[in-house]
Structure 1
């Protein structure tokens, strides 16, 4: 490494840590969980092995040139090695998802014994190393057969099929799994999949940016989201009636939560920010906590917003034991169109929201600046507006170009800043109970393929063996978790110096 590069990294770390109050793992509650995350399609690979059938992600990814998850990190075959890496790092929890089509290849009906055995073995391996499994039931990978049969999430039939899938998971894995998330980032899933056409099944109204073959951006996101809430509530009801008293687990729903802050101190921008929060947070959280959608959404959308029956409202209300938060970056909010640089492909949901969003840093979709205060603001808003629900931060991390750089100093800066923000929120009364770095290792990223990665372990995707190599962020997180690193400039600088002298492939 060149002397100037070493000096630059040294300077970055000094600047990054000089404004952070020192803290350690011991400053958090003893039962707080620190972990890392992946998802089935992004990590497992083995796409057509041992009885697994295609999901909508298989279909979608094979129609674009950003790669696919056919092999990914080969976690299906290398899970024991990865669990050992987690244990060596000191991870307290691991969040992963279950591939619906690996477990139930036809979407409903017979269980695939090889798929069942894989997840039992993975959970057993985690438990044997003292790592808490946090299972997400649905991470964007609907069985293609159900999509073909009735249209997936825009059809109420999905509620019954999802509940049956959840029932199998609770029955087979629930003795060893105490934390369940039903649906991953339901808000952005509904918008991206049914309004913007960016994720499968790729629905949107005709527009000049995305070539969607079907969809209606003004109605489908709200219909899909409605069915997600009902499916979540149905699975939650089943768990509480049939399994909770014996298994003693918790079940929740996760949402994507941008940090949102007024662009100026004007009253108009304050109103715009509250409106954005109603749409982006209240859309899911108002029903989950209070039983109905925000008044602002009902006024704006009218008949385009589905209506809960009285029975449905009661079932959805209180159906989440916790709220899962997916958070990466923060936007300023304004009413002024000229100021916006938010990359919107299609104007369904965002047009309805009626505000403009401005990046707090680089406007690139895959490179954003660390703004820990944004996450702290999200946690404070949820505390004040939604009865301070238990919260798990299920994804938070820093994207960087996927190359051979193991010295990911910006990621270390990012992670420690956000962990500090979580600690501040807890000290201010937030009932936040866990923090998961996305991602444990480099995975197939759903929008950028293999060009961008979040992993604390580098994966050589050109190597048939998918060799793993620790990055500086893995060493930092390990040191933080095992108590050898305090978040202070001196400890971090010493780690960086040590790492730069020893890291290699």
Structure 2
């Protein structure tokens, strides 16, 4: 217990460098009194939800699956784990029925590399292959569009042990071979492929802060180099994505007709004052957050400000690599939860370089990852979409994660009105961005059900459906937000706006679940 407590303090120390909780008294473009319906969105706009393999599947040691770096990370630190979690591996048919009842158009999930190819390279695991075929078929049979992610934080531990995983360019070849298996085996039904989930934040968490697997950093970690490794890993992620995308276009696209994209964690940055220095700092923060990956994907190289700040620590693209990466994403997946106010300063320690120091800014965030207390700032999501439209050629965008955690007892979990109010204003912000010309094509609520959260274990609850983790059957129960989201998707305007939400809550309270 003492070691676990010490580790938590270490993680809090790292987070405290980055996260300062504030409340923003800024006007919202959409309020809960505003009424809009699904019909206000463009035809074909997808409303969905999602989970990921390690957070939902469980069955961590069953049917040939081998450990990923996330298994190793949480078990070595005595943290909550996903060994069982929702047991989606066995209960996937039941969960697809929940999707059907909710009326989802689409579902975002990830494929566990170490379940499909346990050693990361070499033979395919037939039981893992069959599970994903069965699950995808179940989705398609019920009219739910599969959105598959190839990598969601869970690199096979075997590749980490063999050559250092994402730090080694060998990963590009192995990731492309893994993608080839997925495209070949599942591509007749899967038309939307995300190569890397949250490519930027995965890199920062795992190789700068050390708070996610594989847990590498310069300070408070047993190994790592925060001044160089984030940029090496980010470079290899981009090259692996581009290699898989090229493979799809050359070998599968004409036959399968799908698309391949990259997912990024997007923060809405605003300057703390109207000074030129702070406005430039906010732009610098955007370049480091989104431009780090979006500039190579659209222009073939990193932003100039990153080159100037990081210098030789930032890898170079060869001419061939630049052409490979440029234009390699058919769409951009956006993960959004928070905003930040930016000040032009040099934080932290003189003579110490890491990702945050390189940005040259101090950011005060609207969400504290440790406590999960967040301000509601839908304008930030609208601003991100507008920025991508103006700065990066208005590519197709899918909001692949957005949601709110609710803490409390069972009844508070089920009557999650604050989550409904949150979703209402954020979906309204997306609608506003679309009306202003953003090519945003879908919105996915995180998450379909309560799952193992990568940074919060089982202490956080984002689900539309409650999961009783104390029950051997892991019983699922709809929350008020599940009823609201279902009504919205199905075009029932009765429960839209503040009065409708109150009516829905009244109906929910009088019904038996």
Query: If the TM-score is normalised by the length of the shorter chain, which range does it land in?
Result: over 0.9
2:458 corresponds to: 450
Query: Residues 20-419 of structure 1: matches in 2 within 5 Å?
Result: 20-205=33-218, 207=219, 210=220, 212-335=221-344, 348-360=354-366, 365-401=371-407, 403-404=409-410, 405-419=413-427
Over aligned residue pairs, what C-alpha RMSD do you find? 1.7
Shift of 1:370: 1.4
> Deviation string for 1:98-123 (max 9, x for gaps)?
00011111111111111111001101
The whole-number CA distance in structure 1 between the counterparts of 2:31 and 2:297 is 40
> Deviation string for 1:246-296 (max 9, x for gaps)?
100010001110111111222221111001011101000000000000000
The whole-number CA distance in structure 2 between the counterparts of 1:433 and 1:351 is 35
The whole-number CA distance in structure 1 between the counterparts of 2:254 and 2:368 is 48
Cα gap change, 1:18 to 1:217, in 2 (>3 Å) = closer
The whole-number CA distance in structure 2 between the counterparts of 1:97 and 1:361 is 25
The whole-number CA distance in structure 1 between the counterparts of 2:353 and 2:39 is 46
1:8 corresponds to: none
The whole-number CA distance in structure 1 between the counterparts of 2:257 and 2:297 is 21
The whole-number CA distance in structure 1 between the counterparts of 2:512 and 2:449 is 16
The whole-number CA distance in structure 2 between the counterparts of 1:372 and 1:431 is 18
Shift of 1:30: 1.4
Shift of 1:393: 0.6
The whole-number CA distance in structure 2 between the counterparts of 1:241 and 1:324 is 22
TM-score (norm 2): 0.91
- Equivalent pairs counted in the alignment come to 480
The whole-number CA distance in structure 1 between the counterparts of 2:281 and 2:364 is 12
SS of residue in 2 equivalent to 1:168: helix
The whole-number CA distance in structure 2 between the counterparts of 1:160 and 1:143 is 14
Determine whether 1:420 maps to 2:428: yes
TM-score (norm 1): 0.92
> Deviation string for 1:175-231 (max 9, x for gaps)?
0000000000000011110010011110000x2xx3x11100000000000000000
> Deviation string for 1:66-123 (max 9, x for gaps)?
3100001000000000000000000000000000011111111111111111001101
The whole-number CA distance in structure 1 between the counterparts of 2:57 and 2:213 is 19
The whole-number CA distance in structure 2 between the counterparts of 1:161 and 1:39 is 21
The whole-number CA distance in structure 2 between the counterparts of 1:385 and 1:185 is 20
Shift of 1:409: 1.1
Aligned residue among 476, 495, 498 for 2:507: 498
Shift of 1:503: 5.1
Q: Any conservation in 1 of the 2:196–2:241 contact (CA below 8 Å)?
A: yes
2:469 corresponds to: 461
Aligned residue among 417, 437, 442 for 1:434: 442
Shift of 1:165: 0.2
The whole-number CA distance in structure 2 between the counterparts of 1:219 and 1:16 is 40
Cα gap change, 1:424 to 1:296, in 2 (>3 Å) = same
* Structure 2 residues without counterparts, runs of 5 or longer: 1-27
Tell me whether 414-423 or 363-372 shows the greater mean CA deviation.
363-372
The whole-number CA distance in structure 2 between the counterparts of 1:231 and 1:173 is 20
Q: Any conservation in 2 of the 1:66–1:448 contact (CA below 8 Å)?
A: no
Q: Any conservation in 1 of the 2:32–2:425 contact (CA below 8 Å)?
A: no
> Deviation string for 1:337-386 (max 9, x for gaps)?
79x9xxxxx96101111101112366855221211000000000000000
The whole-number CA distance in structure 2 between the counterparts of 1:337 and 1:149 is 38
